[in-house]
Amino acid sequence: MRPAVFQSTPPPRPSPVKLGVDQVRAWFGSHQVLHGIDMQIPEQSVTAIIGPSGCGKSTLIRSLNRMHELTEGARLEGRITLDGVDVYGKDVDPVLLRRRVGMVFQKPNPFPSMSIRDNVLAGLRLTRSLDRSRAAEITETALRGAALWDEVKDRLDTPGVSLSGGQQQRLCIARSLAVAPEVLLMDEPCSALDPVATSRIEDLIHTLKTTYTIVIVTHNMQQAARVSDYTAFLLTGELVEFSETNRLFTSPRDTRTEDYITGKFG
């Protein structure tokens, strides 16, 4: 064995690509919303998607777990890969894909007829994959993962909708974590929350990225700067710039990016 002093620090290895987006174009009816998006989203990182309202951020994130196609008249072309596998491939079941690529929505949407516990376990129950003997453990792990356990551990049987907005959103995150996804998509998860609840979710995102690959849409550029490793700037359905967050905010390559992050429009 060679002495430690001779070991040189290895160059930072680029983490493998988790999600590949290749020439993705999307339509609602005849209205084209995405015009050829290319992105390589690295594993165990946080990627923020920013851009003015209506530029297609939701459409893009929803095409990653094939929620886009649930809208009537919605259509998509191009390739999206998860670990190199085309998720729009013929033999891919969108239902199975969505168990690996979870999603948290803009407005907290816990199931109104279910208790906190049932909300957490809903994904497993709905997919008939709940191992009853592990239910308690899964509930606790998921709620701890979403930094909600201490607040709700004494009232797991009260309705999920009885929580505050921020707690409901963390419950929705816990619900997603319970099905053990690899990717977590978040579409403006904090836009309905106050600053305190927002910073709790941001802290949570920091912790979660050690396990999950996270893609987050946000209106808030400070938030993008705070939580993400990579940022994509979208403008009228085109990807203007996609690079490391630091770089994008300090030395943007495109003048349109610069205009947007300095608040000249949007």
Ligand X SMILES: Nc1ncnc2c1ncn2[C@@H]1O[C@H](COP(=O)(O)OP(=O)(O)OP(=O)(O)O)[C@@H](O)[C@H]1O
Binding to ligand X, residues 162-201 (CB under 6 A): none
> In the bound complex, what is the minimum distance in angstroms from residue 192's beta carbon to Mg ion?
13
Cα–Cα distance list, 115 to 21, 149, 175, 221, 233 (Å): 37, 14, 12, 35, 39
Counting residues that bind other proteins (by CB under 8 A) gives 31
**Tokens 């999920």 found at:** 160
Residue 6: other Cβ atoms inside 10 A: 6
Q: Could you say which of ligand X, other proteins, Mg ion, none residue 33 binds, taking C-beta under 5 to 8 angstroms by partner kind? A: ligand X
List 56, 123, 166, 237, residue binding other proteins (CB under 8 A): 123
168 binding other proteins? (CB under 8 A): no
Binding to Mg ion, residues 30-59 (CB under 5 A): 58
Burial 44-62 (b: 16+ CB within 10 A, else e): bbbbbbbbeeebbbbbbbb
List 1, 4, 5, 70, residue binding other proteins (CB under 8 A): 70
57 binding ligand X? (CB under 6 A): yes
Do 68 and 37 form a contact (C-beta atoms < 8 A)? Answer: no
- Round to whole Å and give the CA distance between 114 and 68: 26
- Round to whole Å and give the CA distance between 64 and 46: 15
Q: Could you say which of other proteins, Mg ion, ligand X, none residue 92 binds, taking C-beta under 5 to 8 angstroms by partner kind? A: none
Do 86 and 24 form a contact (C-beta atoms < 8 A)? Answer: no
Q: Could you say which of Mg ion, ligand X, other proteins, none residue 113 binds, taking C-beta under 5 to 8 angstroms by partner kind? A: other proteins
List 37, 55, 178, 197, residue binding ligand X (CB under 6 A): 55
Of 246, 245, 186, which is closest to residue 217 (Cα–Cα)?
A: 186
155 binding other proteins? (CB under 8 A): no
Nearer to Mg ion, 58 or 213 (CB): 58
Nearer to other proteins, 108 or 237 (CB): 108
Q: What is the DSSP string of 81-129?
A: EETTEETTSTT--HHHHHHHEEEE-SS----TTSBHHHHHHHHHHHTT-
Beta pairing partners, 46: 214
Which of these ranges, 52-60, 175-183, 194-202, 249-257, lies near other proteins under the rule CB under 8 A? 175-183
28 binding ligand X? (CB under 6 A): yes
- Round to whole Å and give the CA distance between 236 and 55: 4
> In the bound complex, what is the minimum distance in angstroms from residue 34's beta carbon to ligand X?
8
Q: Could you say which of Mg ion, ligand X, other proteins, none residue 211 binds, taking C-beta under 5 to 8 angstroms by partner kind? A: none
Which of these ranges, 9-17, 31-39, 124-132, 248-256, lies near other proteins under the rule CB under 8 A? 124-132
Binding to other proteins, residues 7-26 (CB under 8 A): none
Instruction: Burial-class residue 195 by CB neighbours within 10 Å (0-12, 13-18, 19+).
Output: exposed
- Interface residues with Mg ion (CB under 5 A) are 58
- Interface residues with other proteins (CB under 8 A) are 65, 67, 70, 72, 95-99, 102-103, 105, 107, 109-114, 122-123, 125-128, 159, 161, 172, 175-176, 179
